[in-house]
Structure 1
Amino acid sequence: MEKESTTESTTESVTEDATPDIQLIESGGEVTLSIGGEQAMQAWERDLMWASADLLCEYGQDFYEVGLGLGLSALRVAGNPATRSHTVLELYGEVEELFREKHPELPPALRIERGDFFRRIYDLPSESFDGMLFDPALDMEVWKDEDLWARVVPEIVRVLRPGGVFIPFFSTRPELRWQYVDYFRTIRVERHAYQAYDTTEYTYGTSGNAYIQCFQKD
């Protein structure tokens, strides 16, 4: 996910091949996926991830997701009756292994692939998906790299079918994601209340409103 705090994360970069320490931490009723010592995802996000998945499924039947995490949205999308196919790209094998330990039987529509999105995006066929969820664990320097996003977002638009949508990780600030806003004319925003853990470090506050942004290709 894109960390919303000012703390620098050290999870994934487009040039980093070393695998960071990856752990699933279950303590005191909290569930956290930790990557490189950072909170990559937590189970309290479930309702927001489900809302994002349900929104995605309104726009077609073939979907793509970047970042498996705890698999909350992946299972939701793949389990939707309207879904024909859902491909999830995950960089780290350890994340997939942790997920499969919890979910040994997967929905028929779900396929998990390994790879680096910033390389894989150029190989995806044009107009091949009705929608994409985007929630990888990235280093803050990657999120701030304007040249990188200027190269990558047109490729995201390319692989979407007309009318298809791109939905990034929810924000707890009511601001459109600058990385994507210039490439889409139609943007749908849904507001949802959220309650994080007291220990959550990557949101602006641990309760309030979260915003799901849905960018639609003309």
Structure 2
Amino acid sequence: MKSQDVAERDTAPQDRPAIELIEQNGEVTLSIGGEQAMQAWERDLMWASADMLCEYGKDFYEVGLGLGLSALRIAGNPATRSHTVLELFDEVEDLFRARHPHVPDNLTVERGDFFERIFALPSESIDGMFFDPALDMEVWTDAGLWARTMPEVVRVLRPGGVFIPFFSTKPELRWQYLPHFRRIRVERHPFVAYDTTEYTHGGTTGDAFVQCFIKD
């Protein structure tokens, strides 16, 4: 479930949505609150995003664990010294640990709300952030929230560091991040989703766009 393609549901901790891993008919889906939060067909796009992130340094931060596809890819890159993942839900990490009992030593998973934690992160402490949380559409459209939050993201990035949100299947730059960066790198990648996928824009095949926002 990707924010630019479909309205997302509230993931505030007090709501405690049902979280499950659904494996059927060769498909793997992380379901949160009855919605498709992430599916395994995304692997190549997540890997492309992770590989791009790792071009820019050695200490990384990720928001949203999901199936752990990008987390393991980032931590497994020879250039990576440290990778910290912030996840809101215990159940998501439990599902990940059940599938991956042995993870790289440089990978740490922490619990917390990004919109609170970002203010506590040290300035210029990371080389890159990969951003893939499950958020409600009300959050994605809250211009004031993003105006307060994104300067903090820029603050924690080292000079030359990058912010990479999850891929989009719409060929447009995301307005939430655009005002805060002068340089943006975009790569186009073909994708083939499941026939049952509900969150892609314009069908289950096409082009996806990885956007990399670079701090000067």
* TM class by smaller structure: over 0.9
1:10-32 alpha-carbon deviations (Å, 9 max, x no partner)? 2414xx52311000000000000
1:113-170 alpha-carbon deviations (Å, 9 max, x no partner)? 0000010000000000000000000011110110000000000000000000000010
Q: Tell me how far apart the structure 1 counterparts of residues 109 and 199 of structure 2 sit (CA, whole Å).
A: 26
Q: Tell me how far apart the structure 1 counterparts of residues 141 and 117 of structure 2 sit (CA, whole Å).
A: 20
> Is the CA contact 2:2–2:8 (under 8 Å) kept in the aligned structure 1?
no
Matched, 1:5 2:33: no
Matched AA of 1:184: F
**Partner residue of 1:99?**
96
**Partner residue of 1:152?**
149
- The SS at the match of 2:55 is helix
> Is the CA contact 1:11–1:35 (under 8 Å) kept in the aligned structure 2?
no
> Is the CA contact 2:40–2:67 (under 8 Å) kept in the aligned structure 1?
yes
- The SS at the match of 1:113 is strand
Displaced runs of 4 or more, over 3 A: none
- The SS at the match of 2:52 is helix
Matched pairs, number: 215
Unpaired segments of 5 or more residues in structure 2? Answer: none
**Partner residue of 1:214?**
212
Q: Residues 6-155 of structure 1 correspond to what in structure 2 (within 5 A)?
A: 6=6, 8-13=7-12, 16-155=13-152
> Is the CA contact 2:2–2:200 (under 8 Å) kept in the aligned structure 1?
no
- The SS at the match of 1:59 is coil
Matched AA of 2:5: S
**Partner residue of 2:197?**
200
Percent of paired sites with the same residue: 73
TM-score by length of structure 1 reads: 0.96
Superposition RMSD on alpha carbons, in Å?
1.0
Unpaired segments of 5 or more residues in structure 1? Answer: none
Matched AA of 2:123: S
